[in-house]
Amino acid sequence: MPIRRILFGTACAAALAAAMPLAGRAQVPAPSAASAPTGEAELQAAITKSNAYTALMNRTLRAIQSWERYASWVDMKKGPTGKERYISYGLYSLYDVTGEIRKAEEAAARDPKLPEIDATVLGYIKAYQELAPLITRAERYYDRKDYRDDDLAEGRSLHAQMVPAAKAFLDQRAKLDAEMRVYKTALDAQELAAIAQREGKSVRWVVRNVMINARAVIDLMPSNEKPVVDLKAFDAAVANYAKAIREMDDFKDANPGKSLFVDSQASSWLGKLRDFSAKLAKSKGDVRRGAANDANWIVSSYNTMITMSETAIRFPR
């Protein structure tokens, strides 16, 4: 599922469908039985739809990063004044997401029908399309230092438009994050069961099991919005990840010479998670008290693991 944005000056996002970004923790109902895939064809259709939505979320994460850069130097209540020390920071330019939007819109119209999520995705696209042109105009404005010619007139006008547009976009993002996390968790369990039925606990099963549990840890990592970690939930997720690593070890012991590509990185990641957890325990879960660098390393390493896991599944040896 995606990509995370962490932490305090370093925004980091996995660009593949195995990651899931986290921008909010709204409570949403579990997927209904009607939305659960009932066969292989239905499961693959559900995975395709989920991947289309995730690709859109990952690619549009750039808008959040750009907005955070803007918020790092401007007073959000007052707007730009021209006296800001870091006004030259401006905003990040956005990525072209035309293809991702088209695929997500097409996915929303296809089976399996997910009324709540499909509607949220379309609302998210609308909110993005309202914010993105404003960010692009602002990025050019500050990059070219046009504010020196108009005494920040356009900058103030853009600020007044961007603030409500950004709020609407971030609200839709948080809602979509929460809904997709619940749905993807159920989908992951069904995918693992289908692989086990079809192949047994194969390379594909072992790697997917590791990455599903890794993502569960990532979903609980701190963010700028929520810098204090739920230690009990985090430690439980790490314990589940450790179990997946032990299952990977069992597979390697039973299949000497089989390459998993991701195994060394995944094992090292577990050690780093345990170090990180120990630091968090000392700070009562607050990542700002000495563990931010560890958090950024964990996310960066996770992104690397995603690429390795895709290779392992695509080219099993």
- How many C-beta neighbours within 10 Å does residue 158 have? 21
For residues 177 and 26, give the distance between their C-alpha atoms in angstroms, rounded to a whole number. Answer: 9
Nearest one of 1, 3, 2, 5 to 222, comparing CA atoms: 5
- pTM for the model: 0.79
- pLDDT value of residue 26: 31
pLDDT tens digits for 217-257?
A: 999 999 877 899 999 999 999 999 999 999 999 999 999 98
pLDDT less than 70: residues of the chain: 1-38, 316-317
Question: In the chain, which residues fall in CATH 1.20.120?
Answer: 201-317
- pLDDT value of residue 31: 40
DSSP 8-state secondary structure symbol assigned to residue 286 = B
> With the C-alpha atoms ordered 184, 190, 191, 196, is the resulting torsion angle positive or negative?
positive
Q: Which residues of 101-126 are buried (b: 16+ CB within 10 A; e: fewer)?
A: bebbeebbeeebebebbbebbebbbe
> Which fold, 201-317?
Four Helix Bundle (Hemerythrin (Met), subunit A) (1.20.120)
Contact 199/76 with Cβ under 8 angstroms?
no
For residues 53 and 167, give the distance between their C-alpha atoms in angstroms, rounded to a whole number. Answer: 21
10 Å CB burial of residue 20 (0-12, 13-18, 19+) is: buried
pLDDT tens digits for 36-75?
A: 565 889 999 999 999 999 999 999 999 999 999 999 999 9
- pLDDT value of residue 177: 93
